[in-house]
Amino acid sequence: MNSAINMTSKLHSSFLPSNNILSFSPKPTSPRFTLPHSSSSSKSSICMSLRENAPSIAVVGVTGAVGQEFLSVLTDRNFPYRSIKLLASKRSAGKQMTFEDRNYVIEELTADSFDGVDIALFSAGGSISKQFGPLAVEKGTIVVDNSSAFRMVDDVPLIIPEVNYKAMSHIKLGKGKGALIANPNCSTIICLMAATPLHRYAKVTRMVVSTYQAASGAGAAAMEELELQTREYAFNLFSHNAPILSNGYNEEEMKLVKETRKIWNDLSVRVSATCIRVPVMRAHAESVNLQFENPLDEDTAREILENAPGVVVIDDRESNHFPTPLEVSNKDDVAVGRIRRDVSQDGDSGLDIFVCGDQIRKGAALNAVQIAEMLL
């Protein structure tokens, strides 16, 4: 457990019609493996999940917060598979888990785990990815990795399907050739889901992000700890628990800076971030200030966002209804509101927006499964 948590010290996603906030309906929280179809799954045409001619898959870190969500998302999206292997540490090996009405025994992750596995979804932390990711690739497995282990490695695509799916177009399933694909950091995904459609229109030259991040971003144990330590959490917030670097930024903040440049393939974009943990169980919120090369007024921005895949606009000024972490928890779409001209900038050269997204879902498991879907 990290120090700050120990606080005692619309591509594949939906293309929502304009203003269709009602279709952003709540999903039941926490039922595992039996969730109904996600409202925002345009790939729901993929069905008959368990079938002979589908890839064999493995979920690494299946007992964790993201691992559990992988299983929910695979079910929600009828992801086709020939077989599924549930992998975790020695501690969990031998335990039983039910997935899509079948019983499975959790296996210990070893070097042999990937024999015959076509796609492996990794979420067991960076060191496990570094150790086992390349071994899996050697066995011909395509690894979609949720950790930061390979994100900034040059020839590893860093993918948000709605943003830069083309960067993984050279990776093909069924050729017996393994590969690594990295899932960006959760805060980066949530931010760029909203910022990219605007960037495409008016070119972002500078972006300043302030995050309000949920406890579950630090894993299942942190969620439990939040429940146990509600009193300490409830009246406070904390700088993100990632290590502080020599430039004064923490690692989470620098991930947002570097990953944005890689995903947008734009080394010139200037990004700054401040990442804060708040006493929220699930879903991150982010205040994003954007500066553009070309003018973009707030009405046009709202229209662009209303038509962006995987994004829903909640921006009701009259009733003060804007995105909240609770409202986006267990949802696929990233919600955007507080869309307004930045009065500190000239003309229409700047905007402020407020974004909320479920970081376990779109920030991790859903994004990874969407990546895997693009391999099919």
Ligand X SMILES: NC(=O)c1ccc[n+]([C@@H]2O[C@H](COP(=O)([O-])OP(=O)(O)OC[C@H]3O[C@@H](n4cnc5c(N)ncnc54)[C@H](OP(=O)(O)O)[C@@H]3O)[C@@H](O)[C@H]2O)c1
Give the residue numbers marked as catalytic.
186, 284
Q: Which of 161, 176, 180, 163 is nearest to 371 (CA)?
A: 161
Structure-token match 């628990």, residue found? 241
DSSP string, 106-152: -EE--GGGGTT-SEEEE-S-HHHHHHHHHHHHHTTPEEEE-SSSSTT
Cα(183)–Cα(135) distance, rounded to whole angstroms?
18
Residues 6+ apart with CB under 8 A from 258: 152
Q: At what angle do helices 186-202 and 251-264 cross, to 10 degrees?
A: 40
Considering only residues 286-345, where is the footprint of ligand X by CB under 6 A? none
Among 360, 369, 372, 374, binds ligand X (CB under 6 A): 360
Q: What phi and psi values does residue 138 have, to the nearest 5 degrees?
A: -60, -30
Cα(258)–Cα(263) distance, rounded to whole angstroms?
9
Q: How far is the CB of 273 from ligand X (least distance, A)?
A: 16
Cα(280)–Cα(237) distance, rounded to whole angstroms?
10
Among 35, 128, 168, 313, binds ligand X (CB under 6 A): 128
CB 62 within 8 A of CB 69: no
Using CB under 6 A as the binding rule, whether residue 78 contacts ligand X is answered as: no
**Total binding residues for ligand X by CB under 6 A?**
29
Using CB under 6 A as the binding rule, whether residue 89 contacts ligand X is answered as: yes
Among 146, 250, 329, 330, binds ligand X (CB under 6 A): 146
Among 58, 88, 97, 290, binds ligand X (CB under 6 A): 88
Using CB under 6 A as the binding rule, whether residue 125 contacts ligand X is answered as: yes
Q: Pick the closer one to ligand X by CB: 57 or 65.
A: 65
Within the chain, residue ranges assigned H as helices are 65-76, 126-138, 161-164, 186-202, 220-228, 230-234, 251-264, 298-306, 325-328, 366-375
Using CB under 6 A as the binding rule, whether residue 364 contacts ligand X is answered as: yes
Cα(350)–Cα(232) distance, rounded to whole angstroms?
38
Among 10, 12, 67, 302, binds ligand X (CB under 6 A): 67
Judged by DSSP in three states, 180 sits in strand
303, β-bridge pairs: none
Among 38, 39, 61, 308, binds ligand X (CB under 6 A): 61
Question: Of 41-49, 125-133, 247-255, 298-306, which part binds ligand X (CB under 6 A)?
Answer: 125-133
Using CB under 6 A as the binding rule, whether residue 123 contacts ligand X is answered as: yes
Minimal CB distance residue for ligand X: 64
Using CB under 6 A as the binding rule, whether residue 65 contacts ligand X is answered as: yes
Using CB under 6 A as the binding rule, whether residue 5 contacts ligand X is answered as: no
Q: Pick the closer one to ligand X by CB: 38 or 291.
A: 38
Binding string, residues 205-244; x marks residues near ligand X by CB under 6 A? -----------xx-xxx-----------------------
Using CB under 6 A as the binding rule, whether residue 21 contacts ligand X is answered as: no
Among 55, 157, 310, 363, binds ligand X (CB under 6 A): 363
Using CB under 6 A as the binding rule, whether residue 147 contacts ligand X is answered as: yes
Residue 78 tokens, joined: 């009828």
Q: Pick the closer one to ligand X by CB: 91 or 172.
A: 91
Q: Which residues here bind ligand X, judged by CB under 6 A?
A: 61-67, 88-89, 91-92, 109, 123-126, 128, 146-147, 186, 216-217, 219-221, 359-360, 363-364
